[in-house]
Amino acid sequence: MKASNGKIHRALPGPSIIPDKVLQAMQRPAPNIYGGELENITHSILEEIALLAGTKGRVVLYISNGHGAWEAAISNLFRKGDKVLIISTGVFGSNWGKMADKMGLNTIYLEYGMEDILDFDDLAKIISNDKNHEIKGILTVQSDTASSILTDINKVRHVLDEHNHPALFLVDSIACFGCDEMHMDKWGIDVLLTASQKGLMAPPGLSYLIINDKAEEEAKKITEKSAYWDWGPRLEPSKFYEIYCGTAPTHLLFAQKAALDIIREEGKDNIINRHLILAKTVWKAIEIWQQEGPLNFNVKHEKNRSKAVTTVVAKKFDLKPLKDWVETNTGVELGISLGFDGEDYFNGNSAFRIAHMGHLNPHMILGVISSIEMGLIATNVPFKLGGVENAMTYLAEAINS
């Protein structure tokens, strides 16, 4: 019996679900790329991104995915041989580090694998031992999309301040921008990275570097850099097209503007609260399921979990039949595991991810967890029944309060 016809729900942590209004905004002919409407749209996008970041700093927009933003940040701020510290609590920090390696930087790592959060004592030790301030930059990820670990960015800043360390503080918030809290200026972030296809609800292809005065000044000292990534001319264009170093990504801008209109209408505070209660709804289900059988949170403590994505693990247990059953029979696609390799993790098949980022409301998130609970029954995974009920009870109360 096939029951899955209807709308497919992709619970993948990027690209996230694109609202109909955003899709429709792209159904139009190509505009003039030399100014006019496109210029207004560009400036309104840059303003909205700065507001969401919580900064008085400026925003540089690139035609690229998140990897492009990684390279742009490095290219503008560092010289070959500069020492940078990479903090990795999953997959994305180390991948950013590998890029820095390729670009000739001298990288050192605080590497925690897939399960462990940053140990702030380790960080304090490295920072306090760096008496000559050889470390020029700290590269950090706010929410690692693979492990779903959330790093306390404010606390990293405190460690740098306690030791009066002048390193540039770079934060990749690509996974959780517009989902987890972000206060760029208050948290002393010098460069914040994000991209269009996750909390920002638009197709992939736009990335953003949000930069403060310190970053702008440091970048001016770097004389040799990639002409395309150089943010100088993009910030001070003599002609409009120089903002893009060429043709503007016209339809992606229409889409991003429409998405930011939705975001502005809802309001930043409500968006952060909605993500919190929808994330907790998922956690309330898992809290019950994990009481029997192999399922578990990858991140044990709630305060270390991202509000954009949750990684579920079942060590040494094959969850592929569950994922396949859910996809074939319910119209829900779950995120594949990333970084959970080897025997312990059944070569990647003992984990999956539930995205709860962006365009999402209670019936969508309840549909996802109910489909998983059905799948657990149908594929004979041992678990404790009652997760969905627990989630519904929580959510009803959270909405009313």
Ligand X SMILES: *Cc1c(COP(=O)(O)O)cnc(C)c1O
Positions that interact with ligand X (CB under 6 A): 14, 65-67, 92, 141, 145, 172, 174-175, 195, 204
**Least distance from C-beta 190 to ligand X, angstroms?**
18
Cβ closest to ligand X, residue 66 vs residue 178: 66
Cβ closest to ligand X, residue 77 vs residue 141: 141
**Least distance from C-beta 252 to ligand X, angstroms?**
13
Taking CB atoms, the residue at the shortest distance from ligand X is 66
3-class secondary structure for the chain? CCCCCCCCEEECCCCCCCCHHHHHCCCCCCCCCCCCHHHHHHHHHHHHHHHHHCCCCEEEEEECCHHHHHHHHHHHHCCCCCEEEEEECCCHHHHHHHHHHHCCCEEEEEECCCCCCCCHHHHHHHHHHCCCCCEEEEEEECECCCCCEECCHHHHHHHHHHCCCCCEEEEECCCCECCECCCCCCCCCCEEEEECCCCCCCCCCEEEEEECHHHHHHHHHCCCCCCCCCHHHHHCCCCHHHHCCCCCCHHHHHHHHHHHHHHHHHCHHHHHHHHHHHHHHHHHHHHHHCCCCCCEECCCCHHHECCCEEEEECCCCCCHHHHHHHHHHHCEEEECCCCCCCHHHHHHCCEEEEECCCCCCHHHHHHHHHHHHHHHHHCCCCCCCCHHHHHHHHHHHHHHC
Cβ closest to ligand X, residue 295 vs residue 334: 334
**Least distance from C-beta 253 to ligand X, angstroms?**
17
**Least distance from C-beta 92 to ligand X, angstroms?**
4
Cβ closest to ligand X, residue 195 vs residue 391: 195
Question: 74 phi and psi, to 5 degrees?
Answer: -65, -45
**Least distance from C-beta 197 to ligand X, angstroms?**
6
**Least distance from C-beta 51 to ligand X, angstroms?**
21
Cβ closest to ligand X, residue 38 vs residue 191: 191
Cβ closest to ligand X, residue 65 vs residue 330: 65
**Least distance from C-beta 200 to ligand X, angstroms?**
11
**Least distance from C-beta 202 to ligand X, angstroms?**
12
Q: How far apart are CA 130 and CA 110, in angstroms?
A: 14
Sign of CA dihedral 223, 229, 232, 233: positive
Cβ closest to ligand X, residue 170 vs residue 326: 170
**Least distance from C-beta 162 to ligand X, angstroms?**
26
**Least distance from C-beta 350 to ligand X, angstroms?**
21
Cβ closest to ligand X, residue 143 vs residue 349: 143
Cβ closest to ligand X, residue 196 vs residue 290: 196
Contact 95, 141 (CB under 8 A): no
Cβ closest to ligand X, residue 204 vs residue 293: 204
